Structure 1
């Protein structure tokens, strides 16, 4: 594969992280304030919301790092190696973690939708967990296919 293609993907990988960082800096505190206004009886809800969203950012950035490593393996012609399988496995686990953490926040989307009489907000809250699960399945399929390709390659190397 040409380095230009992987260079484009590496740049895209970096650019994907920038909006999420901006969301963590600017939007998460606002979401915490909205949650505190919705549930004034629970003073700690603001911090709980912030912790869950920031905790979701950690596996997201770790998965981006693993994707960057995977692109480096492709550049070094090590795409069909155990290192690539391990990177895909870590990406899969990160996506599962993000999905679980975001499902924990769904009751807040329900409260917000109930308060503002906007049921579409619940679907907005389901976007991130659904996208994470799609990434999980995709990474699992790629991991299995790559492992089978490595196994076939090693069998062919042994027969020659």
Structure 2
């Protein structure tokens, strides 16, 4: 097993562990947060469901991005990293990160509403998720552009040889 394969296997394990961690949060933390929010504002019947929509709604693109990252690592293992499918995987990761960030931007009034009755650090959590998702989206966009340019240069070199 060469170094490239070992490092991609390590990253695959990290992706798997991240998926398990978020699944645990979705199973154990999200219902508690939703119940807590509905207890804070008992006169707002949909408060619990708004929390579910925000957090579970963001989990869907998160898992799709993990799947795309896992596929990207498989493409690297198969020496298909300089291909259009790799560019598409990066584009999908970028779109997922933007979707997560957008969901939390839309959910910030809800988070702020909850943070008013609890502690302001809860509001900062929403901002951290927005910022980190935007960083991932920006990084994926830069890698996507660089990979696309590398593919063009590679195809030009293949034609001249």
**What is the CA deviation profile of residues 40-65 of structure 1, one whole-angstrom value per residue up to 9, with x for unaligned ones?**
22101201211221111111011000
Q: CA RMSD in A?
A: 1.2
Moved more, 33-42 or 14-23: 33-42
CA shift at 1:6, angstroms? 0.7
Aligned residues: 159
Aligned to 1:139: 140
- Give the Cα separation in 2 of the matches to 1:61 and 1:119: 28
**With structure 1 as the length reference, what TM-score do the two structures score?**
0.94
Deviation at 1:38, TM superposition (A): 2.3
For 1:68-116, what per-residue CA distance to the aligned partner results, in whole angstroms no more than 9, with x for missing partners? 0000000000110001000000000000111111122212321232213
> Which residue does 2:55 correspond to in 1?
53
Out of 9, 12, 30, the residue aligned to residue 10 of structure 1 is: 12
SS at match of 1:2: helix
Q: Which moved more, 1:64-73 or 1:107-116?
A: 107-116
Give the secondary structure class of the aligned counterpart of 2:132.
helix
Structure 1 unaligned segments of length 5 or more: list them: none
1:102-143 deviation per Cα after TM superposition (whole angstroms, max 9, x unaligned): 122212321232213x33332122111111000000000000
Range that drifts further, 49-58 or 35-44: 35-44
Q: Distance in 1 between matches of 2:121 and 2:13?
A: 34
Consecutive aligned runs of 4 or more in structure 1 exceeding 4 Å deviation: none
Per-residue Cα deviation, 1:11-35 (whole angstroms, up to 9, x for no partner): 1110111110001001111111122
Rounded Cα–Cα distance in structure 1 between residues aligned with 2:29 and 2:63: 17
CA contact under 8 A between 1:38 and 1:111: conserved in structure 2? Answer: no
| Length-normalised TM-score, structure 2 | 0.94
**2:152 aligns to what?**
151
**Unaligned 5+ residue runs, structure 2?**
none
What is the rounded CA distance, in whole Å, between the counterparts of 1:19 and 1:56 in structure 2? Answer: 14
5 Å-filtered alignment, 1:24-63, equals: 24-63=26-65
CA distance in 1, matches of 2:115, 2:96: 28
SS where residue 42 of structure 1 aligns?
coil
Supply the distance in 1 between the matched residues of 2:79 and 2:120 (Cα, whole angstroms): 49
